[in-house]
Amino acid sequence: MNIVTLLPFIVLIGAMFLMTRSAKKKQQAAAQMRDHMAPGTGVRTIGGMYATVKEIGEDTVTLEVAPGVHALYAKNAIGAVLEDAEYNRIVHGTTDDLTIDTPVVPDDASSLTEAPKTDLTKDEDEAPKLDLGKHDDAEDEKPGDGKADGDAGAK
């Protein structure tokens, strides 16, 4: 046989070998990740649920999905084992970074209902006007071409 006729078969076999090799590496990495589970670590299931590991069996894992609620899962259902900081950030919303500037929200609405501060240059009985973006002379404006909506040739 000619080498040119065997070349497509060689390329096909090589591609299949590379694909199965990468799949085996991914499976080994997932198995190694599942071996690092210990009671008390946070995990994410393949369904996207976050839980805490309570017990580890031969092929199963008992997860605490809510305080006092335990569920039995297969080890293969664990999608990721999370670090403590990442798990607390996602589940509890806590951060260890104190440099984040978050706005302070008041505990009550009293600061929102206080009377507006008056302008000292005006009289005490004159309340300041609020500009709501509307002007009084907006009604007096006419279309620039001199035609009204009801006129013939209006746009």
79-109 residue pLDDT tens: 888 888 888 888 878 766 555 566 667 667 6
Distances 23 to 36, 74, 124 between C-alpha atoms, Å: 20, 20, 79
Exposed, middle or buried, 63 (CB in 10 Å: 0-12/13-18/19+)?
Answer: buried
The model carries a pTM of 0.48
Question: How far apart (Å, rounded) are the C-alpha atoms in residues 19 and 60?
Answer: 29
Chain segment 17-65, per-residue pLDDT in tens? 888 888 888 888 888 888 778 898 899 999 999 999 999 988 899 999 9
Q: What are phi and psi of 74, to 5 degrees?
A: -75, 150
Chain segment 123-150, per-residue pLDDT in tens? 556 666 667 776 665 555 555 555 656 6
Residue that has been written with the tokens 């995990």 in this structure:
43
